[in-house]
Amino acid sequence: MHLWKPLRVVLLSAALCQQSDAVHAQTQLDASRVGLAGDWQAPFTGAGEPTRVVFRVSKAPLGWRAVALWVEPGHYVASIPSVVVKGDAVSFTATAHELNGSFAGTESVDGTTLTGKWTQGSGEGSGGGFATQPVTMTRATKETAWAIAPALGSDAKLIPANLNPTFEVATVKPHDPKVQGGGWRWIGARRFEATMPVGGLLADIYGLQRDQIVGAPDWVFKDVYDYAGVPDLPGWPTAKQRYSMERKLLEDRCKLKTHMETRDMSALLLTTAKGGTTMTPSIIVYPGVTFSMHPAAGGGAGFIFTAQNSSMDDWRKVLQGMLDQPVVDHTGLEGQFDFDLTFSPDDTVYGGRMHPPQLESGEPAPGLYQALQQQLGLRLNRFKGPVQVLVIDHIERPSSN
């Protein structure tokens, strides 16, 4: 899993002309809005070499969306799920990858430039070589368009779905408690790394919450291990193949034996709200899902959770990790999605260990349940009924490398 720093971009255009020409000016502006789709080129300066970013705006099912592309090589695409157009105001937010800040400016009457100021965000790793600076975004034409470098992962080749890869080289060792950090990630297609208890890895492999893993000794959830592995086949493993490889690693090193059962227990039911979901289909070019969470910019008391290339099962697992309860997906939604979710955590989120930043201005962000419905068109409801559980029939501490 890739963790990236936030990117926030806000574009605001000014009122046009004087009152006597308001109708004509608004007609001109609306015409430019119809042509909002296209590439907007933005040069940035910082501590290193100048960097050029292209914001590509396109029509989305419920409005507009965009994607941030890079002229210089060595960058991932950053999805911008929603571009909001209100009268003469245009705004969009992106909270993934290298950029982390906001742009505020005005659109020219002829719709060829967006002129304003880039304000770099705060927080760990927010610099990234960028600085607060004036920026003019220019609509690209055939003659002026910058050549965009291939994004990282755009040339990825998947391992055929009918193949059953395993780890060619793998290590499992007790984690050094002096070394901070945890979680799991796939580095491109070629290396798996994780730091967590065996129970945490099992929860991820099977998409379960801790209460759904039964029959395990205490050490399964307490003792932390470092895992690493390299696939034995070239290419990017699919999600199903990745989980299979990780499961086979535990079966080999921990002599793991399990079976699935269905038991009645309390859980949360994830469904679509009335009117359906507002999430936009993903336009990410590389395999794999990216999640990140950052304090909301602009003084709002909340966090922005960003998902890129996420399936509903990916999102379900994140929610049950947040809320420490099993979540059952009844949305029926298929495919991958990009979205931002702005919310204020309460005591039910991560056990109350996550506190929103102090409110500086404006209204506080809604709670998680309300934000899900308002921003993504999803609902969470409590229920008690049949839920899958993983029964541990046999497990041993990992064998030495």
Amino acid identity of residue 10, one-letter, is V
Q: Are residues 242 and 165 in contact, defined by beta-carbon separation less than 8 angstroms?
A: no
> Which range (155-159, 166-170, 202-206, 320-324) has the least confidence?
155-159
Mean pLDDT of 174-193: 85
pLDDT at 337: 95
Please give the pLDDT value at position 19.
37
Do 351 and 324 contact (CB within 8 A), yes or no? yes
Cβ count near 305 (within 10 Å): 20
Q: What is the mean pLDDT of residues 60-88?
A: 84
How sure is the predictor about 123, in pLDDT bands with cuts at 50, 70 and 90? very low
pLDDT at site 122: 52
Give the model's pLDDT for residue 168.
92
H/E stretch holding 266 = strand 257-272
Cβ-based neighbours of 172, under 8 Å, separated by 6 or more: 225, 226, 227, 249, 253, 398, 399, 401
Percentage of residues in the chain having pLDDT higher than 70: 83
The predicted-structure confidence for 46-68, as pLDDT tens digits, reads as follows 656 678 999 999 988 778 899 99
The mean per-residue pLDDT over the stretch 142-171 comes to 91
CB 6 within 8 A of CB 294: yes
**What is the predicted pLDDT for the residue at 206?**
94
Residue 12's pLDDT is: 28
DSSP state of 185: E
pLDDT of residue 296: 73
Residue corresponding to tokens 């809005």: 33
For residue 32, the model assigns a pLDDT of: 44
CA–CA separation, 25 and 20 (whole Å): 9
* pLDDT average, residue stretch 322-345: 93
334 in Cβ contact with 326 (< 8 Å) = no
Q: What is the pLDDT of residue 245?
A: 96
Average pLDDT of the chain to the nearest whole number: 83
Cβ neighbours of residue 4 closer than 8 Å, sequence gap 6 or more: 76, 78, 96, 97, 98, 290, 292
pLDDT of residue 260: 97
9 pLDDT more than 70:
no
pLDDT reported for residue 359: 64
* pLDDT tier, 258 (very low <50, low <70, confident <90, very high otherwise): very high
Domains located in the chain, CATH noted: 19-139 (2.40.128), 167-255 (no CATH), 264-387 (no CATH)
What confidence tier does 102 reach under pLDDT thresholds 50, 70, 90? confident
DSSP letter string over 292-319? Answer: EEEEPSTT-SSEEEEEEEE-HHHHHHHH
For residue 29, what pLDDT band results from cuts at 50, 70 and 90?
very low
Q: Mean pLDDT, to the nearest integer, of 325-334? A: 95
Condensed to tens digits (0 to 9), the pLDDT of residues 281-318 reads: 998 877 778 888 877 765 556 888 889 999 999 999 99
Q: What is the mean pLDDT of residues 156-178?
A: 92
Burial of 17 (0-12, 13-18, 19+ CB in 10 A): middle
